[in-house]
Copies of this chain bind each other. A is one copy, B any other.
């Protein structure tokens, strides 16, 4: 692990910006939020914003990633294996995250949000896979991680559309097939 100490000023300022952005997005939709609004709310200089983020879309990505990661509570099962429980927890975190987003108004940015979710999931899955399969081929694990992230995300979309059962129940039904495979040509 490359341990880099981050300047505390950077941490503070990033937090100010992110918090202000999240606060503002309670009230208006993304397309109506300007950089000026954010920096005014955060009481920082506009130039400072551009020191940390390319533009407002960059902020959207990073802010959502962070909120999602907090939802995922990554640290807590960073060392867990990829069990049924872990799987269910991740799935539930994703559905919770999407629920929290549907309150805010990010219309027109669904694709961006979807991509962010999948990217974060992919990183998470890959780390877990590598930990238990250090001997296996890297490319294969990458591909599995990609498929899992798309799969989980798709399942969450489907569950959101017609949610008859709990997220846990919904996903656990599928877990055996993921764990033991679908067994072609039995």
Contacts and interface: CB of A to CB of B under 8 A. Distances in A.
Interface string A93-105: 0000000000000
A120 B44 CA distance: 31
Interface in A114-169: none
Contact of A44 (B8, B43, B44, B45): B8
Interface string A19-35: 00000000000000000
A12 interface: yes
Copies of this polypeptide in the complex: 2
Nearest to A12: B43
A45 B12 CA distance: 13
Nearest to A8: B43
Interface residues of A, number: 6
Contacts of A44: 8
A69 to B, nearest CB: 21
Contacts of A8: 43-45
A109 B43 CA distance: 36
A123 B44 CA distance: 33
Interface in A1-60: 8, 11-12, 43-45
A2 to B, nearest CB: 22
A5 B80 CA distance: 53
A115 B11 CA distance: 39
A134 to B, nearest CB: 37
Nearest to A16: B12
5 contacts: A8-B43, A8-B44, A8-B45, A11-B43, A12-B43
